[in-house]
């Protein structure tokens, strides 16, 4: 009956954030030496590892497109990612769906025509889950693609926002997500403010939609700052190493 | 904004999961002190110069711990307690321990004048602490409070003017630790005593530590773990205790016994073991040998216990209790136990149980009065004394309270809360909260009855009123309102309501069509145009649920600007409406129906009487009148068809008071009269409700708000069937149709009132009609038994019922596909919760209305003695209840009235000599002489018997020496004459004999009289 109070009258969420605050985000690129590009990203306790292979020769001839590269996304959730240990099959429909979301998000952004007849593989591994998996996956993929040096028109920054209690809030954690909250995930190209993905599965009153969208957009911009800094730091680091 | 991150790991059990939560610590949580320059708060809560208390040198802010809120919430709510810092730690603990108290704390925080500030210490970088190894959560929280207090102390030490913080806790250990840390700590008691205010002193909850020297009266309750294990294993049974409204020492729970649903009786003080009405309790079944077969067995137990009482005072009460026990024992709300009890032949004793633990208390605040007898100090004394408090609700035991203002409170209605009920105390221990006013005063009594029935009657807050249209009274229909509405302004719409009605929800029109059919429209006030879902006004209305009609006033659900003006469909003004338009053929069959929002301008607001006159007056030939005639014709056909389907016509003895204009005192009573036009309006409202119910159920199969009326179980009819069988009448209640037919046939030519009486009594066998959410029940259970329809809802009175508001919203969503709506219309759970609240409010509103009538009946009979004809409508073991049709009142007449005098001689074991005894076979009371086979007893009282009674108000109960202040309607039997029961009734009270008897009784048996009064009150309730 009485579910947890998600937003106290004092304006703090259960973890002590205010509604428009992201969780602590840490990210690094180039974490795997085997992959062409890789990134590790934490949204609070949601932790995702992304690896990009390619562009490389397409494995199945039948799929080859002669004028551009094809994107292939695989998503895995580690059995130990949440409190309860649970193994998901590879054909879990939720995972396939989420993978296809990531694929659709990046198809218009990656300049695939530069790599005809080839394939770009994106492998995502959710190591720990605490809400907002999709946004974390998209952000990690962006970093990994940049790390792999694949041409893109812009960053893709994703952020969720939802309506908790009486206000819109961004970057919902697992508790907030699971209390029947209406949640929207959007992925944005920060320079042009174009949106490449919006995803919402629950009912949300139209009156509230605009506010939720606005806040999610702001969240994306904040994400961009963090991601851009990671990339620039990495680049500077590399540059410094080269000059030495 | 700087954000620090720390990690906290919490494990939750259940499946033993490890839950990892983030916990952010912040720098932007401000102290909220007015003079603080460091913090960046915008609206400081805590005043610069807070309260001063003799106990401290400096003005200070109070930081209470959790137990202060849990135990002393009433003190904290007192206006003298201001400038309190509520720590997040404390607030969370309070929430965990008690949701109602948490809500009250939240209300105080929201009240700006109280200056309660929530300091989120758990998220503040300076005050967050990690749990230490081997530290219990309680110790950690206590430490957190100390740390926060210390932080505050340091933070504000340089402020000007100087202030300090004080930690308030009743835990001596915690205080010592605080003092060791250099903090100021104080207990509530010291603090309050230093305030020097008797009122707040009385409000202090009594300390729980009682001296061990006292003898324990009750068995210990089992530990919660023990209880829950016992319930799981089936050793104990869980249920909600319902105390008999006639005997506060008898309760029952309804639960599953060995897989079968049944009632377990819990009889006697020691078996009830400190459970109070409404508590969720764990019960252990007693061995079969102790199951109740006769009521006397229990009484003896009780008497033994009573005999242990030492003090005189207690002895008096003991006698009283024992006697009362007797007097009312046979009055259970279900007849079954009585039957089982009475006949020793019956070998199915009622299962009895004993309370072993209390799972959840349902204590609330109680209205009542102080027992005059329990006040022994001389008048004017202000020393604290323990006194006994009687709650108005007879199900509640007496409550012991400690007060310094006992004399000032005598004769007043006061509110009291229970604090605890230790094993050593016969009565629960409580504390005074506030006084309402003089007993017997109309406004006080009205407030009491509103409080007792949980009716929210406070004024609408500013916040609520802010959602009213800004134009206020001058609001008119604007051209933009016509969007999406049909213009019915030209139609001859009129409304028919009771006289003096200002909240007109409904209006009607009819237009004969070219094809010989009729277009009939029901127009309902469009409340939802003004009340938008989810806003404060809507929430307030949802919580109030319904408008409550009392005899002299009305507690509105919506602010009166809406209820009586903007929504009210008054004549000759344009108003927004929600219309239901049918095409009916000549036989009043529905050809088609549609719904639309509309604008109407009513042509006339008539009373039932005016409308009736118009129908009857052949000279009236205007459009409105001829419309009413057509409607009347159609309504009759509708009604006939409904009756053919098996709808019930029931009756209730409702009366209406004529009030004096200025004082609002009742000057006359009359039966509510029903005219043809009442039925006219009713028919079309029923039709509208049914049509709407179908529509919204179609659109919202899982979440439509509907209303059902379950079929009454046949057990309800047992007694009635038996009684009417005597007249050769058979009641067949298998369906509403057969019931309705048998009622129609049950006519006694020599007794014209019989049929009405039978209908009144049938009404009492019925179940309550309930709101429900369509997803929560199977479709067969949607049926409305009384109206004989398969689906029903409430659509026609949105001004006074919230259910109708919801139905309006659902109907609007059903007809306008482009409408956007939130999950309040689709969420099954929310709808279910809402239905629960509405059912509760409805029930309470009905009871409040009834109590109000009772109150005015008392006022009416004040200083009056009337002789009236009445009918016996219920037979109890040692009493019977008489209904007076003229006033619609009921009273109890004891069959063993005077014999019980022996009880006050101190010999509690003496049984009162019944003059009439109960015969379970014939269900009547008869004289005690031994009878030969087949012989009828000399005198007997049976159901439906016509009697003459004398009615007066027992004014010796008010004030006079006994402290009792429940006014009781006294009914005495005049005819038939039964020696020992009947009085010489008399129009003149000077009859020496009758007078002598009364006064003698008064002298000799004060206990008895008081006791009867309690019993009497019970019966009426």
Judge if B418 and B529 occupy the same domain. no
- What single string gives the DSSP state of each residue in B587-618? T--EEEEEEEEEEEEBSEEEEHHHHHHHHH-T
Report residue B24 as tokens. Answer: 């952010």
pLDDT at B895 over 70: no
* Per-residue model confidence (pLDDT) at position B595: 94
pLDDT band of residue B812 (cuts 50, 70, 90) is very high
Interface test with B, best of A12, A16, A127, A128 (most B CBs within 10 A): A16
pLDDT at A181 over 90: no
Distance (Å, whole) CA B658 – CA B467: 36
Closest by Cα among B989, B703, B995 to B867:
B989
Interface test with A, best of B10, B21, B111, B823 (most A CBs within 10 A): B21
The verdict on residue B500 lying in a domain is: yes
Judge if B387 and B495 occupy the same domain. no
Query: Beta strands of B40-83 (E only): which ranges?
Result: 60-64
pLDDT band of residue B242 (cuts 50, 70, 90) is confident
CA atoms within 13 A on the CB side of B1008: 23
CB contact under 8 A, B120 and A17: no
pLDDT at B1001 over 60: no
Q: How many domains, in total, are found in chain A?
A: 1
CB contact under 8 A, B18 and A83: yes
pLDDT at B38 over 80: yes
- What single string gives the DSSP state of each residue in chain A? -----SB-TTS-BTTS--TT----EEEEE---SSSSEEEEEEETTEEEEEEEEEEEE-S-GGG--SSSPEEEEEEEE-TTSSSS--PPPTT-HHHHHHHHHHHHHHTTTB-GGGSTTEEEEEEEEEEE-SS-HHHHHHHHHHHHHHHTT--BSS--EEEEEEEETTEEEES--HHHHHTT-EEEEEEEETTTTEEEEEEE-S---HHHHHHHHHHHHHHHHHHHHHHHHHHHHHHHHHHHHHH-
| Nearest by CB: B822 against A1, A23, A205 | A205
Q: How many domains, in total, are found in chain B?
A: 5
Judge if B600 and B664 occupy the same domain. yes
Query: What ipTM goes with this model?
Result: 0.90
Distance between A8 CA and the closest CA of chain B, angstroms: 10
Tokens 């008392």 belong to residue:
B858
How far from chain centre, in Å, is Cα A18? 22
Closest by Cα among B90, B89, B115, B94 to B104:
B94
* Per-residue model confidence (pLDDT) at position B617: 86
Contacts for B610 with CB less than 8 Å, ≥ 6 apart:
none
Residue of A nearest to B5 (CA): A24
The verdict on residue A110 lying in a domain is: yes
Crossing angle of helices B608-616 and B676-699, rounded to 10°: 110
Mean pLDDT of A132-158: 95
Distance (Å, whole) CA B558 – CA B537: 8
Backbone dihedral angles phi then psi of residue B669, each to the nearest 5 degrees: -125, 135
Distance (Å, whole) CA A184 – CA A198: 7
| B677 against B138, higher pLDDT | B138
pLDDT at B947 over 80: yes
B830 interfaces chain A, CB cutoff of 8 Å: no
- What single string gives the DSSP state of each residue in B381-408? --S-EEEEEEESSTTSPPEEEEES-HHH
pLDDT band of residue A3 (cuts 50, 70, 90) is low
Distance (Å, whole) CA B143 – CA A66: 70
Judge if B256 and B186 occupy the same domain. no
Closest by Cα among B918, B1, B552 to A19:
B1
The verdict on residue B298 lying in a domain is: yes
What is the pLDDT of chain B when averaged over all its residues? Answer: 78
pLDDT band of residue B980 (cuts 50, 70, 90) is low
Lowest mean pLDDT among A68-72, A114-118, B248-252: B248-252
Residues of chain A contacting B820 with CB distance shorter than 8 Å: 205-207
The verdict on residue B616 lying in a domain is: yes
- What single string gives the DSSP state of each residue in B108-123? HHH-GGG-EEEE-GGG
CB contact under 8 A, A16 and B823: no
Buried b vs exposed e over A10-36: b needs ≥16 C-beta within 10 Å? eebbbbbbbbbbbbbbebebbbbeebb
- What single string gives the DSSP state of each residue in B860-917? HHTT-EEEEEEEEEEE-SSEEEEEETTTTEEEEEETTTGGGGGGGGS-TTPPP--SEE
Distance (Å, whole) CA B308 – CA B314: 10
| Nearest by CB: A10 against B15, B19, B120 | B120
Judge if B605 and B738 occupy the same domain. no
pLDDT at B994 over 50: no
CB contact under 8 A, B17 and A83: yes
The verdict on residue B524 lying in a domain is: yes
pLDDT at B445 over 60: yes
Residues of chain A contacting B1 with CB distance shorter than 8 Å: 21
Distance (Å, whole) CA A10 – CA A5: 11
Domain coverage including residue A71: 25-243
Distance between A36 CA and the closest CA of chain B, angstroms: 33
* Per-residue model confidence (pLDDT) at position B715: 78
pLDDT band of residue B10 (cuts 50, 70, 90) is low
A210 interfaces chain B, CB cutoff of 8 Å: no
Mean pLDDT of B893-922: 53
The verdict on residue A2 lying in a domain is: no
Residue of A nearest to B123 (CA): A16
* Per-residue model confidence (pLDDT) at position B42: 82
Query: Each residue of A27-50: pLDDT tens digit?
Result: 999 999 999 999 999 998 899 999
CB contact under 8 A, B120 and A205: no
Distance between B412 CA and the closest CA of chain A, angstroms: 38
Report residue B739 as tokens. Answer: 């019931």
Residue of B nearest to A129 (CA): B20
Q: 3-class SS at B526?
A: coil
A15 interfaces chain B, CB cutoff of 8 Å: yes
Judge if B431 and B287 occupy the same domain. yes
Query: Each residue of B619-664: pLDDT tens digit?
Result: 888 888 989 999 999 999 998 998 888 888 776 666 777 777 666 6
Backbone dihedral angles phi then psi of residue A182, each to the nearest 5 degrees: -75, 130
Distance between A17 CA and the closest CA of chain B, angstroms: 7
- What single string gives the DSSP state of each residue in B216-232? P-SPPPPPHHHHHHHHH
A38 interfaces chain B, CB cutoff of 8 Å: no
* Per-residue model confidence (pLDDT) at position B933: 56
Report residue B248 as tokens. Answer: 């506060």
Q: 3-class SS at B124?
A: strand
The verdict on residue A37 lying in a domain is: yes
Distance between B821 CA and the closest CA of chain A, angstroms: 7
Residues of B (12-71) whose Cβ lies below 8 Å from A: 15, 17-26
pLDDT at B1021 over 50: no
Tokens 């590269």 belong to residue:
A69
Distance (Å, whole) CA A94 – CA B543: 41
CB contact under 8 A, B24 and A17: yes
CA distances from residue B60 to B52, B67, B69, B166, B593 in whole angstroms, order as listed:
7, 20, 19, 6, 69
Distance between B136 CA and the closest CA of chain A, angstroms: 22
Residue percentage of chain B with pLDDT more than 70: 80
Mean pLDDT of A112-140: 94
Residues of chain B contacting A83 with CB distance shorter than 8 Å: 17-20
Buried b vs exposed e over B462-490: b needs ≥16 C-beta within 10 Å? eebeebbeeeeeeeebeeeeeeebbebee
Distance between B656 CA and the closest CA of chain A, angstroms: 42
Judge if B734 and B622 occupy the same domain. no
CB contact under 8 A, B22 and A44: yes
Mean pLDDT of B534-540: 87
Closest by Cα among B773, B767, B755 to B824:
B773
Answer whether B201's CB lies under 8 Å from B406's CB. Answer: no
Residues of chain A contacting B23 with CB distance shorter than 8 Å: 15-16
pLDDT at B365 over 70: yes
Distance (Å, whole) CA B351 – CA B368: 33
- H or E element: which one contains B137? helix B137-155
| Count of A-B CB contacts under 8 Å | 58
Answer whether B121's CB lies under 8 Å from B148's CB. Answer: yes
| Nearest by CB: A16 against B26, B822, B833 | B26
Answer whether A188's CB lies under 8 Å from A195's CB. Answer: yes
pLDDT band of residue B1019 (cuts 50, 70, 90) is very low
* Per-residue model confidence (pLDDT) at position B908: 37
| Nearest by CB: A23 against B18, B22, B122 | B22
Judge if B272 and B420 occupy the same domain. yes
Residue of B nearest to A208 (CA): B822
Query: Each residue of B374-399: pLDDT tens digit?
Result: 777 777 667 778 888 888 877 888 88
Q: Nearest 10 degrees: CA dihedral of B807, B810, B812, B816?
A: -160
- Cα dihedral B336, B338, B339, B345 sign: positive
* Per-residue model confidence (pLDDT) at position B159: 82
* Per-residue model confidence (pLDDT) at position B1016: 36
Residue B204 carries which DSSP code? S
Query: Each residue of B257-278: pLDDT tens digit?
Result: 777 777 888 888 888 888 888 8
* B663: exposed, middle or buried (Cβ count in 10 Å: 0-12, 13-18, 19+): exposed
Q: 3-class SS at B935?
A: coil
Interface test with A, best of B12, B123, B820 (most A CBs within 10 A): B123
| Nearest by CB: B19 against A23, A24, A83 | A83
- Cα dihedral B93, B98, B103, B107 sign: negative
Report residue B488 as tokens. Answer: 């019915």
B822 interfaces chain A, CB cutoff of 8 Å: yes
Distance between B127 CA and the closest CA of chain A, angstroms: 14
* Per-residue model confidence (pLDDT) at position B932: 56
Domain coverage including residue B742: 711-766
Judge if B361 and B497 occupy the same domain. no
Residues of chain A contacting B18 with CB distance shorter than 8 Å: 83
Instruction: Determine if residue A183 is left, alpha or beta; phi over 0 gives left, psi from -120 to 50 gives alpha, anything else beta.
Output: beta
- Cα dihedral B855, B857, B860, B866 sign: negative
* Per-residue model confidence (pLDDT) at position B322: 39
Judge if B685 and B565 occupy the same domain. yes
The verdict on residue B706 lying in a domain is: no
The verdict on residue A48 lying in a domain is: yes
Judge if B551 and B600 occupy the same domain. yes
| Nearest by CB: B123 against A12, A130, A207 | A12
Distance (Å, whole) CA B121 – CA B155: 13
A4 interfaces chain B, CB cutoff of 8 Å: no
Residue B774 carries which DSSP code? G
The verdict on residue B697 lying in a domain is: no
CATH number for B900 = 2.40.50.140
Residue B778 carries which DSSP code? -
A44 interfaces chain B, CB cutoff of 8 Å: yes
- What single string gives the DSSP state of each residue in B263-283? EEEEESHHHHTT--TT-EEEE
B5 interfaces chain A, CB cutoff of 8 Å: yes
Judge if B497 and B415 occupy the same domain. no
The verdict on residue B441 lying in a domain is: yes
Answer whether B364's CB lies under 8 Å from B101's CB. Answer: no
* Per-residue model confidence (pLDDT) at position B299: 36
Backbone dihedral angles phi then psi of residue B615, each to the nearest 5 degrees: -60, -45
The verdict on residue A3 lying in a domain is: no
A67 interfaces chain B, CB cutoff of 8 Å: no
pLDDT at B328 over 80: no
| Nearest by CB: A45 against B22, B110, B821 | B22
pLDDT band of residue B921 (cuts 50, 70, 90) is low
Query: Each residue of B794-810: pLDDT tens digit?
Result: 999 999 999 999 999 99
Report residue B14 as tokens. Answer: 């259940």
Cis peptide, bond prior to residue A55, ω within 30 of zero:
yes
CB contact under 8 A, A130 and B17: no
CATH number for A218 = 3.30.230.70
Mean pLDDT comparison of B57-71, B392-406, B934-948, highest-scoring range = B57-71
Distance (Å, whole) CA B33 – CA B59: 13
A207 interfaces chain B, CB cutoff of 8 Å: yes
Distance (Å, whole) CA B849 – CA B655: 12
Q: 3-class SS at B326?
A: helix
| Nearest by CB: B22 against A5, A15, A206 | A15
The verdict on residue B477 lying in a domain is: yes
A152 interfaces chain B, CB cutoff of 8 Å: no
| A94 against B720, higher pLDDT | A94
B995 interfaces chain A, CB cutoff of 8 Å: no
């Amino acid at each position: 009956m009485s579910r947890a109070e998600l937003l106290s009258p004092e304006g703090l969420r259960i973890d002590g954030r205010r509604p428009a605050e992201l969780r602590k985000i840490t990210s690094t690129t180039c974490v795997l030496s085997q992959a062409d590009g890789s990134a590790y990203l934490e949204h609070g306790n949601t932790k995702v590892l992304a690896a990009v292979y390619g562009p490389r020769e397409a494995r199945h001839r039948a799929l080859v497109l002669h004028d551009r590269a094809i994107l292939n996304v695989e998503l895995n959730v580690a059995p130990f990612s949440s409190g309860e240990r649970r193994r998901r099959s590879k054909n879990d429909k939720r995972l396939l769906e989420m993978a296809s979301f990531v694929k659709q998000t990046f198809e218009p952004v990656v300049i695939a025509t530069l790599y005809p007849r080839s394939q770009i593989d994106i492998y995502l591994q959710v190591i720990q889950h605490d809400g907002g998996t999709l946004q974390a996956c998209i952000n990690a993929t962006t970093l990994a693609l940049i790390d792999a040096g694949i041409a893109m028109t812009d960053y893709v920054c994703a952020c969720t926002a939802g309506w908790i209690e009486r206000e819109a809030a961004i970057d919902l954690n697992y508790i907030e997500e699971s209390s029947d909250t209406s949640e929207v995930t959007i992925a944005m190209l920060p320079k042009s403010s174009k949106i490449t993905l919006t995803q919402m599965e629950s009912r949300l009153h139209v009156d509230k939609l605009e506010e939720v969208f606005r806040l999610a957009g702001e969240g994306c911009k904040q994400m961009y700052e963090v991601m851009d800094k990671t990339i620039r730091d990495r680049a500077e680091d590399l540059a410094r190493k080269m000059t030495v | 904004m700087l954000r620090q991150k720390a990690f906290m790991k919490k494990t939750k059990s259940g499946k033993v999961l490890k839950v990892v939560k983030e916990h952010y610590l912040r720098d932007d949580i401000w102290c909220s002190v007015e003079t603080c320059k460091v913090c960046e708060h915008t609206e400081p809560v805590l005043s610069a110069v807070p309260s001063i208390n003799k106990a401290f040198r400096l003005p200070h802010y109070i930081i209470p711990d959790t137990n202060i809120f849990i135990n002393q919430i009433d003190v904290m709510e007192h206006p003298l307690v201001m400038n309190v810092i509520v720590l997040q730690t404390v607030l969370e603990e309070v929430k965990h321990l008690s949701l109602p108290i948490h809500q009250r704390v939240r209300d105080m925080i929201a009240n700006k004048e109280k200056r309660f500030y929530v300091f989120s210490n758990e998220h503040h970088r300076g005050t967050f602490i990690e749990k230490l190894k081997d530290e219990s959560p309680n110790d950690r929280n206590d430490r957190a409070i100390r740390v926060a207090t210390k932080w505050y102390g340091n933070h504000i030490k340089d402020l000007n003017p100087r202030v300090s913080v004080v930690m308030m806790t009743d835990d001596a250990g915690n205080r010592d630790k605080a003092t060791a840390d250099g903090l100021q700590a104080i207990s509530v008691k010291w603090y309050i005593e230093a305030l020097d205010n008797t009122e707040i002193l009385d409000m202090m909850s009594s300390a729980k530590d009682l001296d061990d020297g006292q003898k324990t009266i009750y068995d210990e309750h089992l530990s919660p773990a023990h209880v829950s294990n016992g319930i799981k294993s089936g050793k104990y049974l869980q249920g909600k205790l319902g105390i008999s409204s006639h005997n506060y020492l008898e309760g029952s729970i309804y639960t599953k016994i060995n897989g079968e649903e049944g009632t377990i009786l819990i009889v006697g003080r020691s078996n009830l073991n400190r459970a109070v009405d409404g508590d969720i309790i764990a019960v252990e079944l007693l061995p079969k040998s102790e199951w109740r077969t006769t009521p006397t067995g229990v009484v003896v137990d009780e008497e033994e216990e009573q005999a242990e009482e030492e003090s005189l005072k207690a002895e008096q009460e003991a006698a009283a209790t024992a006697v009362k026990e007797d007097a009312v024992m046979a009055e259970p709300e279900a007849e079954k136990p009585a039957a089982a009890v009475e006949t020793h032949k019956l070998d199915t004793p009622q299962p009895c149980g004993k309370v072993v633990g209390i799972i959840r208390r349902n204590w609330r605040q109680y209205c009542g009065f102080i027992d005059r007898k329990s006040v022994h100090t001389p008048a004017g004394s202000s020393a604290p004394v323990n006194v006994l408090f009687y709650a108005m609700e007879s199900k509640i035991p007496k409550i012991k309270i400690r007060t310094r203002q006992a004399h000032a409170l005598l004769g007043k209605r006061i509110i009291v809360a229970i604090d605890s009920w230790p094993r050593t105390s016969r009565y629960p221990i409580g504390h005074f909260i506030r006084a309402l006013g003089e007993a017997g005063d109309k406004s006080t009594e009205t407030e009491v009855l509103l409080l007792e029935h949980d009716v929210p009657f406070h004024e609408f807050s500013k916040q609520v009123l802010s959602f009213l249209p800004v134009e206020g009274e001058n609001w008119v229909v604007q051209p933009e309102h016509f969007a999406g509405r049909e213009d019915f302004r030209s139609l001859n719409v009129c409304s028919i309501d009771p006289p003096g009605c200002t909240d007109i929800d409904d209006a009607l029109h009819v237009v004969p069509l070219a094809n010989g059919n009729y277009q009939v429209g029901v127009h309902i006030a469009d409340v939802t145009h003004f009340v938008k879902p989810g806003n404060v006004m809507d929430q307030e209305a949802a919580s109030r649920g319904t408008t409550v009609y009392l005899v002299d006033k009305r507690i509105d659900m919506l602010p009166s600007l809406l209820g009586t003006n903007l929504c009210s469909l008054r004549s000759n003004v344009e108003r927004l409406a929600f219309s239901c338009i049918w095409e009916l053929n000549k036989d009043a069959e529905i050809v088609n129906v549609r719904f639309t929002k509309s604008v109407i301008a009513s042509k006339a607001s008539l009373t039932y009487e005016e409308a009736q006159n118009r129908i009857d007056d052949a000279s009236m030939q205007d459009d409105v009148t001829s419309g009413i005639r057509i409607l009347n014709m159609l309504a009759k056909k509708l009604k006939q068809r409904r009756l053919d389907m098996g709808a019930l016509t029931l009756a209730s003895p409702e009366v209406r008071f004529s009030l004096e204009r200025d004082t609002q005192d009742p000057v006359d009573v009359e039966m509510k009269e029903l005219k043809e036009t009442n039925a006219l309006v009713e028919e079309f409202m029923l039709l509208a409700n049914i049509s709407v119910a179908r529509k919204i159920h179609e659109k919202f199969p899982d979440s439509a708000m509907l209303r059902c009326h379950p079929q009454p179980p046949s057990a309800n009819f047992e007694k009635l069937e038996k009684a009417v069988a005597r007249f050769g009448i058979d009641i067949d209640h298998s369906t509403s149709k057969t019931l309705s037919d048998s009622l129609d046939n049950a006519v006694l030519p020599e007794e014209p009132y019989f049929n009405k009486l039978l209908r009144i009594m049938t009404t009492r066998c019925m179940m309550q009609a309930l709101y429900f959410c369509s997803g929560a029940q199977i479709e067969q259970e949607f049926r409305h038994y009384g109206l004989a329809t398969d689906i029903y809802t409430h659509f026609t009175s949105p001004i006074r019922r919230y259910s109708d508001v919801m139905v309006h919203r659902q109907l609007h969503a059903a007809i306008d596909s482009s409408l956007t709506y939130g999950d309040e219309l689709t969420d099954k759970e929310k709808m279910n919760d809402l239905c629960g609240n509405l059912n509760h409010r409805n029930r309470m509103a009905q009871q409040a209305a009834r109590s109000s009538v009772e109150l005015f009946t008392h006022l009416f009979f004040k200083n009056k003695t009337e002789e009236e004809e009445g009918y016996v409508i219920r037979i109890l073991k040692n009493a019977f209840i008489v209904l007076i049709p003229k006033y619609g009142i009921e009273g109890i007449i004891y069959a063993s009235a005077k014999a019980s005098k022996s009880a006050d001689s101190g010999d509690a074991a003496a049984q009162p000599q019944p003059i009439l005894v109960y015969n379970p076979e014939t269900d009547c009371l008869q004289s005690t002489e031994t009878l030969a086979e087949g012989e009828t007893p000399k005198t007997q009282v049976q159901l439906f018997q016509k009697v003459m009674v004398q009615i007066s108000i027992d004014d010796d109960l008010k004030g006079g020496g006994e402290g009792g202040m429940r006014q009781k309607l006294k009914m005495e039997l005049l005819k038939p004459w039964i020696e020992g029961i009947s009085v010489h009734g008399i129009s003149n009270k000077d009859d020496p004999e009758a007078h002598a008897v009364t006064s003698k009784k008064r002298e000799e048996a004060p206990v008895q009289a008081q006791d009867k009064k309690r019993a009497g009150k019970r019966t009426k309730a």
